[in-house]
Amino acid sequence: MCCNRVFALEEWLTSRHSRQLLRNKLHVPAEVAFPILIGVPSLDHLVLISHDEEKFSKVIERLTARMANITVVATLAVSATVGFLTTTPPTPYAAWDKEFPYIFIAGACGSAILSAASGLGLIMYLGVVTPESVQGLKNGGIEFWVTLVLMMVPTLFLFITAGAGFLAWLGAVWCGNKLWMKLLVTALTLVCSALIVMLFLIIPILY
């Protein structure tokens, strides 16, 4: 009987330790997302700021302005992609009416629409957020992850829009008839992608 209790206790401690490790691993992307999306180093820092009404208001204003800019950019991207979807290429150098680039242009258009819509929803949420609700996120749980996803979605869809746009232009040029343009656009795409990845790897380190 005593041995069974010991084994049960060891099993409980092991499972608790495993859950704690899993929780810590799941919070790693969250800690990376906070400096990129909100402009504060971590959730702990955001909770600390929420105790100061003036600082908290500035963070909310900054995030609202950022989401407004993302919504405007996404709306412009919708207009641009719709223009490409409804026109034919004027030159044979970039054939975006072929299947591959056309699909990615359509995907960029849909992703931009989702970015604008989710950005508008996040702006509406930020208008009613309170310091108490932010402090409640410290407990973790479903509220924390729902809020984190809500903050990530507009920027995430905008990144998808940019990625789809890059692939669409790359595909359009490769469907064209100029070799030097194919090589040039491919090189520019690789360089820009590397710079963007480096930028978002450096931002969390600076905090």
Q: What is the DSSP string of 128-180?
A: T--HHHHHHGGG-HHHHHHHHHHHHHHHHHHHHHHHHHHHHHHHHHHTSS-HH
For residue 172, the enclosing domain spans 43-206
Which pLDDT score is estimated for 29? 56
pLDDT at 49 over 60: yes
E-only strand ranges, the chain: none
Q: How many domains does the chain have?
A: 1
Instruction: Name the average pLDDT for the chain.
Output: 76
2: confidence class by pLDDT, cuts 50, 70, 90: very low
DSSP assignment, residue 39?
A: S
Q: What is the mean pLDDT of residues 69-84?
A: 84
98: confidence class by pLDDT, cuts 50, 70, 90: confident
Domain annotation covers residue 13? no
Residues 6+ apart with CB under 8 A from 40: 34, 46, 49, 59
Domain annotation covers residue 174? yes
Q: What is the mean pLDDT of residues 180-194?
A: 86
Which pLDDT score is estimated for 48? 79
